[in-house]
Chains A and B, each alone.
Chain A
Amino acid sequence: MLRVISIFKRDFKSSIRDNMLLYMMIVPLLLALGLKLFIPSANNLTVKFAIDKSLDKEVIETFEKYGEVELYDNKDKIIQRVNKMDDIAGITLNENGLLQAVIEGNEQKETPGMAKMIIKNINRNDKGDLNFIISNIGYKMSPVASIGSASLIIVSIMLGGMIIGFNIIEEKENNTLNALTVSPMNRKEFICGKSIIGIIIPIIQSLLMLWILDLFHVNIFMILVLIVSSSLIAIVLGFLIGVLSNNQIAGIANMKGLMLLVSASILGAVLLDSSKHFLLYWSPLYWSFMGLHGAILEIITWSKVGINVLGTLITTNIIFLVAKKKIRKGLS
Chain B
Amino acid sequence: MIIDVKGLYHSYTNDDNYAVKDVNFSVKKGEIFGFLGPSGAGKSTTQKILTGLLPLQKGKASIDGNNVKKSPNRLFNTIGVSFERANVYKKLTGIENLEFYSKMFNVKTLNPLKLLRMVGLENAANKRAEGYSKGMLQRLVFVRSMINDPKIWFLDEPTSGLDPTTASKIKEIIKDKQRKGTTIFLTTHNMHIAEELCDNIALINEGEINLIDSPRNLKLKYGEKLIKAEYKINGELRKERFSMINKEEIDKLNEIIKKGKVETLHSQEATLEEIFIKVTGRGLK
Q: Which residues of A does B touch, CB under 8 Å?
A: 2-3, 6, 10, 13-14, 17-18, 170, 174-176, 178-186
Can you list 21 contacts pairing A with B, beta carbon distance less than 8 Å?
Answer: A2-B103, A3-B104, A6-B100, A13-B91, A14-B89, A170-B89, A174-B89, A174-B90, A178-B83, A178-B87, A179-B101, A180-B104, A181-B51, A181-B53, A182-B51, A182-B79, A184-B74, A184-B104, A184-B105, A185-B104, A186-B73
The answer to whether A6 touches B103 (Cβ under 8 A) is yes
Interface SS, A side? helix
- Which of A170, A175, A183 is within 8 Å of B105, CB to CB? A183
B81 on the A face (CB < 8 A)? yes
The answer to whether B89 touches A10 (Cβ under 8 A) is yes
B18 on the A face (CB < 8 A)? no
Interface SS, B side? loop
Measured between C-beta atoms, what is the minimum distance from B156 to chain A in Å? 11
- Which residues on B sit within 8 Å (CB–CB) of A181? 51-53
Using A182-B79, A183-B101 as known contacts, say yes or no to A14 and B52 having CB atoms under 8 A apart.
Answer: no
A2 to B106, CA, bound (A): 10
Interface size, chain B (Cβ < 8 Å): 26
- Which of A10, A14, A179 is within 8 Å of B81, CB to CB? A179
Measured between C-beta atoms, what is the minimum distance from A191 to chain B in Å? 15
A157 to B96, CA, bound (A): 28
B192 on the A face (CB < 8 A)? no
B88 on the A face (CB < 8 A)? yes
- Which residues on B sit within 8 Å (CB–CB) of A18? 91
A184 to B109, CA, bound (A): 13
The answer to whether A174 touches B88 (Cβ under 8 A) is yes
The answer to whether A175 touches B87 (Cβ under 8 A) is yes
Using A184-B106, A185-B104, A186-B73 as known contacts, say yes or no to A179 and B92 having CB atoms under 8 A apart.
Answer: no
Look across to chain B and name the residue whose beta carbon is closest to the beta carbon of A2.
B103
Interface residues of B in 69-127 (CB under 8 A from A): 73-74, 76-77, 79, 81, 83, 85, 87-92, 96, 100-101, 103-106
Select the residue from A3, A6, A176 with max chain B CB neighbours within 10 A: A176
